[in-house]
Amino acid sequence: MTVELVKHDASDADVLFAARVSTGAATIAAATPDGLSDRDAGLINYLMRDKHGSPFEHTSMTFRVEAPIFVVREFFRHRVGFSYNEESGRYKELEPVFYVPADGRPLRQVGKPGAYTFELGTYKQFMAVSGDIRRVSQEAYSTYKRLLDLEVAREVARMVLPVNIYSSFYVTCNARSLMHFLSLRTISDAARFPSHPQQEIAMVADQMEDIFSLLMPRTWEAYQANGRVAP
Amino acid sequence: MTVELVKHDASDADVLFAARVSTGAATIAAATPDGLSDRDAGLINYLMRDKHGSPFEHTSMTFRVEAPIFVVREFFRHRVGFSYNEESGRYKELEPVFYVPADGRPLRQVGKPGAYTFELGTYKQFMAVSGDIRRVSQEAYSTYKRLLDLEVAREVARMVLPVNIYSSFYVTCNARSLMHFLSLRTISDAARFPSHPQQEIAMVADQMEDIFSLLMPRTWEAYQANGRVAP
Amino acid sequence: MTVELVKHDASDADVLFAARVSTGAATIAAATPDGLSDRDAGLINYLMRDKHGSPFEHTSMTFRVEAPIFVVREFFRHRVGFSYNEESGRYKELEPVFYVPADGRPLRQVGKPGAYTFELGTYKQFMAVSGDIRRVSQEAYSTYKRLLDLEVAREVARMVLPVNIYSSFYVTCNARSLMHFLSLRTISDAARFPSHPQQEIAMVADQMEDIFSLLMPRTWEAYQANGRVAP
Amino acid sequence: MTVELVKHDASDADVLFAARVSTGAATIAAATPDGLSDRDAGLINYLMRDKHGSPFEHTSMTFRVEAPIFVVREFFRHRVGFSYNEESGRYKELEPVFYVPADGRPLRQVGKPGAYTFELGTYKQFMAVSGDIRRVSQEAYSTYKRLLDLEVAREVARMVLPVNIYSSFYVTCNARSLMHFLSLRTISDAARFPSHPQQEIAMVADQMEDIFSLLMPRTWEAYQANGRVAP
């Protein structure tokens, strides 16, 4: 899973100027994080706590993500405040890059839907998983290539490819929509609003959160302090 | 591809009452299509032509769709005015139902991206496509089952499944968002705004359009008459 | 403030069928509230608690609302999952109906932004408020009429009308977007996510909540039980 | 009407990199407009013509707008791809700045709804309009101040203010949502998709379009060349 920040126009100061237009005190705060006063940080915390979400929207972050299709599918469920462009299996030949769970990826699912826990698998399970996934991926890809060699259209040939093949996409979001995504796609056992995403999308979300915490440190702190619930 | 109308609250009359609140003439028109006067049909046509889109939104249609994952992926790119719930490969064991192109599905892609045309394939191509897709699907599915038998978590085992496996989902939209979808996902060679969707999603879109034309015949006629551009 | 349910396609059963497509147990539950089993109610509560919001979206409610412009302005800030059509001051002559606070409407604002409390006003304040609002409304409206009599365009003449003049609009939303609206526009002193909307929009929101609680009683109960936070 | 660009992260090159991820040719184009090749401009034109809208969304522009409330109300009808924060009449005392039509603003509305034309008014009409609007605005504002002096809450006192009082707001949008706005809020007599917005919101939209054409000249040219229809 690769997450790269392509460009951004997002800082804690953006939240402040938007919030302060309400009260007319719309002085633009200093642009560096260090420039934020305690009063500024307090305002951000208040907005987060009382769910005043709109001031967080005047920000923009564009990421390039590489992830297997089963992760992309979960990601693209996020509709509001998200813009996407993805590599197309109709327009280009896909590369033979496939996701195979690493050693240490829990393989056993225990419990009921909505309350699953995961446990490490046995050695036998691990060998089966990594061997089978590799084998099926290779066979599928060589079939794909054979069909392309026969001049079958890419959009038809790709039908044999498994959902663990990597795709790549650009995604643009704002701080509010990103926090909403993070609240659902990072792993949390909080009593209030626990979230149990599949581990692989959490690997993407964690990287996005790291970048977000650097771009907008006061906003991220307030998000943490208020139970990781998006405003 | 299966499309079934699950429920709806959508008629041409809904467009009229919403449009007429603007002018205060908000008499609810008769609920049956036959009940619409020429003046009513004229108003719907005017709204479509001048891109007054909001009156078309006070309608709701819920469909159940069965389609392969590569179609679902294109469908879920539609974000605005669309609500989704899909069968989950994390929560249930997927059925061994796979899409294989029927005889007659054009297999050769000719031309450049954005201006492809398709041609029927040769007999050799057809045999390769249908044979290979069947074989890869079966192998992938038997591997999937073997991993489940070993008590590997469903969310891990499913990684081997190809994108032509069927999924099913509920989708709810309104007449405006549906027309936007149709304008992009049905095949059109119009000079203005041609659209070249992959044939398989057009098979879904065509069925949705048939249902839409029965539920809201005047709206559909106006959509047709105005170049199949969503208002 | 008047709120009228125009039409709807919304029941607790709609939440269930959408949620159960995930697990494949998509039996449509009985359509009447009484038909819901404890297990059904439990599923709705689980979805609310863990913020699985999408199953609540396959529902549709259309309201007709009459409210003064300053309330309409707050209402129309809700963008996602809301469709609007409003009476137009460009297309029709507006009626001389104005909002005047009733006896008992708190008139004094105490405290700081974000933490205001309100207190009943003095008799002198009440007399000033109701007298002045009436007087300004009447003068504005007679000026409006005078300009219309001079054949000035409606869109120009209306510029003199105050924000307490009544407007009317149709709004269509789903259960999820409605709960989001209610969480911000009804009055709450909850420790977590308190909300302090202006009293007049709360008068609209309360009526919408009453209707919602009748249409989808189990969903409303789960919303209550989970801190009135939208999923 | 004042429109000021507060910040932006929007260039023609942003459209190109997003579009080219589809085909894998995602080389980031040079960032200056002059750096775009004919081939780049051709791609932008193709995207516009065939309504491939998503590549235009990876851009962000934040404006500060000052406009009377009746214009703000029309502006805020735009929901998708728009974020807002507005000056609040609940939290601050509003300034006595009111919109009065200038000499030359057409005052007579001729024709039917949906097909109005406007004509210059007579001298008598102009004097009535500007005199009456000034007088009502002043009376309303002095009543507002009197109520505030009596310590009536701002959210109550403001009810007497007319819709021509100025407000200010921040709005953030992307190139796609902006083009959609422009297609409806600038004046056009095009045979296909004519638009007849009120002149005052067109005064705002024209300023936004000027800024947009400087930030993204190739995109703006393609928008012009394709009938001013948003992709």
Report yes or no: C180 and C77 within 8 Å, Cβ to Cβ: no
Contact between B213 and B220 (Cβ < 8 Å): yes
Evaluate if residue D30 carries a pLDDT over 90: no
Q: Do C132 and D146 touch (CB under 8 A)?
A: yes
B20, B64, B73, B185: the active-site residue? B185
Residue position matching structure tokens 């750096």: D35
Chain A: closest CA distance from residue C111 (Å): 14
Across the interface, which of A7, A59, A168 has its CB nearest the CB of D21?
A: A168
Active site residues of A: 185
The first and second tokens of residue A126, run together, are 């691990």
Close Cβ partners of A91 (under 8 Å, ≥ 6 residues apart): A154, B113, D22, D23, D24
Residue B49 bears catalytic tag:
no
A-chain CB neighbours of D83 within 8 Å are 54, 57-58, 174
pLDDT at B22 (0 to 100)? 83
- Judged against a pLDDT cut of 50, whether residue A80 lies above it is answered with yes
**Chain D residues near residue A21 by CB distance under 8 angstroms:** 64, 85-87, 168-170
Which residue in the set A50, A54, A195 is minimally distant from C193, CB to CB?
A: A50
With 50 as the cut, is the pLDDT of residue A76 above it?
yes
Largest Cα–Cα distance of chain C, in whole Å? 67
Distances (CA, A) of C146 to B25, C149, D128: 24, 5, 9
Phi-psi region of C171 (alpha: psi -120 to 50; beta: other; left: phi over 0): beta
For residue D26, which residues of chain B lie inside 8 Å, CB to CB? none
Which one of C77, C107, C152 has the shortest CB-CB distance to D152? C107
Distance, CA of C44 to CA of C179 (rounded, Å) = 14
DSSP state of D98: B
SS3 content of chain D, % helix, strand, coil (to 5): 45, 20, 35
Residue B171 has pLDDT above 70, yes or no: yes
Element (H, E) at D63: strand D60-68
Of D69, D118, D133, the CB nearest to C163: D69
pLDDT > 60? residue B30: no
**Cβ pair B86:C62 closer than 8 A:** no
Give the closest-approach CA distance of C9 to chain B in angstroms: 6
Mean pLDDT of the residues in chain D: 92
Q: What is the DSSP letter of B54?
A: G
User: Which of B160-164, D119-123, D145-149 has the least mean pLDDT?
Assistant: D119-123
pTM listed for this prediction: 0.95
Q: Least CB-CB distance to C23: which of B8, B83, B92?
A: B92
Q: What is the pLDDT of residue A25?
A: 61
Inter-chain contact B151–A125, Cβ cutoff 8 Å? yes
Pick from D118, D140, D150: which is nearest to C153 by CB? D118
Q: Which has the higher per-residue pLDDT, D94 or A27?
A: D94
Which CA distances in Å does A209 have to A57, A199, A219, B184, B214? 16, 15, 11, 34, 47
Count other C-beta atoms under 10 Å from residue C65's C-beta: 21
Yes or no, beta carbons of D170 and A21 under 8 Å apart: yes
Report CB contact under 8 Å: C73, D73: yes
Residues of A in contact with B163 (CB under 8 A): 69, 158-159, 161-163
> What is the rounded distance in angstroms from the CA atom of residue D221 to the CA atom of residue D228?
9
pLDDT band of D113, cuts 50, 70, 90: low
- Asked whether residue B29 carries a pLDDT value surpassing 70, the answer given is no
In which residue are the tokens 């302005």 written? C73
pLDDT band at D88 (very low <50, low <70, confident <90, very high): very high
pLDDT 10s digits, A31-68: 455 568 888 999 999 999 989 999 999 999 999 999 99
What is the Cα–Cα distance from A53 to B208, expressed in whole angstroms?
36
Which residue has better confidence, A174 or C193? A174
**Pairwise CA distance, residues B183 & B193, whole Å:** 8
Q: What is the pLDDT of residue D37?
A: 87
pLDDT digits (tens, 9 = 90+) for D186-220: 999 887 788 989 999 999 999 999 999 999 999 99
C interface mutation test: which of A116, A189, A193, A226 has the most C CBs within 10 A? A193
D120: amino acid identity, one letter? L
* Residues D16, D22, D27, D32, Cα dihedral to 10°: 0
- Residues of D within 8 A of C106 (CB-CB) are 153
A133-161 residue pLDDT tens: 999 999 999 999 999 999 999 999 999 99
Among B19-23, B155-159, C44-48, C173-177, the least confident range: B19-23
Distances (CA, A) of C23 to A109, A119, A215, B90, D214: 15, 22, 39, 9, 52
Compare D226 and C24 and report the one with higher pLDDT: D226
Rounded to the nearest angstrom, the minimum Cα separation between B16 and chain D is 15
Which residue of A lies nearest to B165 if distances are taken between CA atoms? Answer: A159
What pLDDT is recorded for position C187?
94
> What size, in residues, is chain B?
231
Judged by CB atoms closer than 8 Å, whether chains meet at B83 and C9 is answered as no
Q: Do C87 and B21 touch (CB under 8 A)?
A: yes
Within 8 A of A23 by CB-CB distance, chain C residues are 113
Query: Which residues on A lie below 8 Å from B197 (Cβ)?
Result: none
Q: Quick one: CA torsion of A18, D206, C84, C96, rounded to 10 degrees?
A: 100
Report the b/e string of B40-58 with b at 16+ CB within 10 A. Answer: bbebbbebbbbbbbbbbbb
Average pLDDT estimate for D137-144: 98
For residue D61, the cross-strand partners are: D8, D173
Identify the bridge partners of residue A13 per DSSP, sorted by sequence position: none
The torsion angle over the Cα atoms of residues B32, B38, B43 and B48, rounded to 10 degrees, is 80
Q: Cβ–Cβ of C51/A114 closer than 8 Å? A: no
Cα–Cα nearest to A114, from A230, A206, A197: A197
| CA dist., res. D62 & res. D171, Å (int) | 6
Indicate whether D175 pLDDT > 90: yes
What is the spatial distance between Cα D131 and Cα D120, in angstroms, rounded to a whole number?
17
Closest Cα partner for D90 from D157, D149, D143, D141? D157
- Chain D: closest CA distance from residue C66 (Å): 16
The C-alpha atoms of residue B179 and residue D230 are separated, in whole angstroms, by: 16
- pLDDT of B26 > 60? The answer is no
Q: Which of D158, D176, D185, D218 is catalytic?
A: D185
User: Quick one: pLDDT at residue C62?
Assistant: 98
Measure the CA dihedral C38/C39/C43/C49, to 10°.
50
pLDDT at A36: 85
Find the range with the poorest average confidence among A84-88, C49-53, C111-115, D123-127: C111-115
* DSSP assignments along C34-71, one per residue: GG--HHHHHHHHHHHHTT--GGGGS-EEEEEEEEEHHH
Which residue among C77, C129, C157 places its CB closest to the CB of D156?
C129
Burial of C149: CB neighbours in 10 Å, binned 0-12, 13-18, 19+: exposed
pLDDT at D27 over 60: no
Instruction: Report the distance separating Cα A8 and Cα A5, nearest Å.
Output: 7
At D18, is the secondary structure helix, strand, or coil? helix
| Range of lowest pLDDT (A88-92, A166-170, B203-207, D76-80) | A88-92
Compare all CA atoms of chain A with the CA of B118 and give the residue at the minimum distance: A153
Q: Please state, as a whole number, how many other Cβ atoms lie within 10 Å of the Cβ of residue D43.
A: 24
**Chain A residues touching B143 at Cβ < 8 A:** 132, 135-136
How far does A145 lie from chain C, in Å, by closest CA? 34
Cα gap D81→A77, rounded to integer Å: 17
- Rounded to the nearest angstrom, the minimum Cα separation between B166 and chain C is 13
Q: For residue B87, report the phi and psi dihedrals to the nearest 5 degrees.
A: -45, 140
pLDDT (0 to 100) of residue D55: 98
pLDDT tens across the length of chain C (231 residues)? 999 999 999 999 999 999 999 877 644 444 455 568 888 999 999 999 989 999 999 999 999 999 999 999 999 999 999 999 999 999 899 999 999 999 889 999 887 766 678 888 999 999 999 999 999 999 999 999 999 999 999 999 999 999 999 999 999 999 999 999 999 999 998 877 889 899 999 999 999 999 999 999 999 999 999 999 999
Give the minimum alpha-carbon distance from D131 to chain C in angstroms, rounded to a whole number: 10
Q: Residue D106: pLDDT band by 50, 70, 90 thresholds?
A: very high
Q: What is the residue-averaged pLDDT of chain B?
A: 92
Backbone φ/ψ region at C101: left (φ over 0), alpha (ψ -120 to 50), beta: beta
Structure tokens at D77: 């009808």
* Sequential DSSP letters for C67-94: EEHHHHHHHTT--TTEEEEE--TTTSPP
d(CA C76, CA D72): 11
